[in-house]
Amino acid sequence: MSTLYRDLSLSAQTAFASLHQAAQQADLRRSVADVRGGFASKRVGGRTYWYHQVRDADGKLVQTYVGPDDEATRLLIERHADPAARAARRHLVALARSAIELGCAPIPPKHARVIERLAESGLFSAGGILVGTHAFLAYQNHFGVNWSIEHATLDLDFAHAGTNLSLALPENLHLDGPAAIDSLQMGFIPNQSRTTYTKADEPDFDLDFLTSRGRRGDTPLKLDRFNLTMQPLKFMELSLEDPMRSTLLARSGPIVVDLPQPQRYALHKLLVYGERPVAQRVKANKDLAQSASVLDWLLDHQPEDVAEMWQDMHGRGPGWRRRLEQGWRALCRAYAQCEFPGRMRQAFAEAGAKPAEIVAGRGRVASRR
């Protein structure tokens, strides 16, 4: 039986584990002192104003207005200049680069810049989740592996449960997602519904904001507290339930984000496989490849999680079962070398699901309680 992943060296796994722990602790203490870049002053109309400045992924200096030269602004700048905070930032960057050199997978610099800015704006602290290919990339460091398949890393997909999520957030919490995107000065333009931001010079580099589909159907959902509009998608609630905290790697340093649980991610990809029209067959095949890779690792290391998630989804209604089985049959055909049917039978046995049957030829699960 061939596998779709390769184990990282023990040194790479140890390096990422150390970085992940340090990044999580730093995120809990996060303040303005942790924002990359520096500050510069300008005289305008006889008054002094301060700007934060940082170089973008292309080396261009980007400045963002901070405030007038008053006590509050000077205190903010002093906190940013604190030697201990700077040393801590440099340490995290060094840990990230060491993990990358040892074989851990980084994300592209431009993507890291976008994700970091939205993280700084509070998107993940307020219930946002990074989904799509970047979640898939993050799992490999979390698992201590490199995926064997090729993968595209173009679009950035962010999701939020919208009004279906209850969080203990302060009443005065208001995030401005579009302002955070505009501050990047990377040329992102929102579409008419404002659920997707595109770049004219990079037509495949989109920022998509998604949520679960409810009674409103496909009508975009505006989240006033975040000034963001989300596009509802069927079955998205599966990925939004019970997210996990993880760390993305970039040469600029680690970025702490929330991701779907891997078993939810893998089986969600099977659901959406059958939803893709023929014109999106390339994306459908990518869905299968990512699902196969994650399932390959999970069935080796956490088979009970897969079986329990399958049972949960199988009980959500005929529409869920039909699409799940459609994606499963396609997966078994495309990745016959991974022997998924037999491994799923074993996963059900280890989870104590009785009786459960997976028919190898058809890839169908029938369960009786």
**Domain locations in the chain as residue ranges:** 262-271+279-369
pLDDT tens-digit series, residues 115-167: 998 888 788 878 889 998 999 999 999 999 999 987 665 789 999 877 554 44
pLDDT tens-digit series, residues 201-250: 888 889 999 998 877 788 999 988 788 999 999 899 999 888 999 999 99
The contacts of residue 49 (CB under 8 Å, 6+ apart) are: 41, 42, 43, 65, 66, 67, 68, 69
CA distance 174 to 177: 10
Specify whether the CB–CB gap between 260 and 105 falls below 8 A.
Answer: no
Specify whether the CB–CB gap between 338 and 296 falls below 8 A.
Answer: yes
Which is more confidently placed, 6 or 369?
6
Specify whether the CB–CB gap between 148 and 3 falls below 8 A.
Answer: yes
- pLDDT score, position 215: 77
Residue 44: pLDDT band with limits 50, 70, 90: confident
Residue 31: pLDDT band with limits 50, 70, 90: very low
Which whole number is the average pLDDT over 270-278?
82
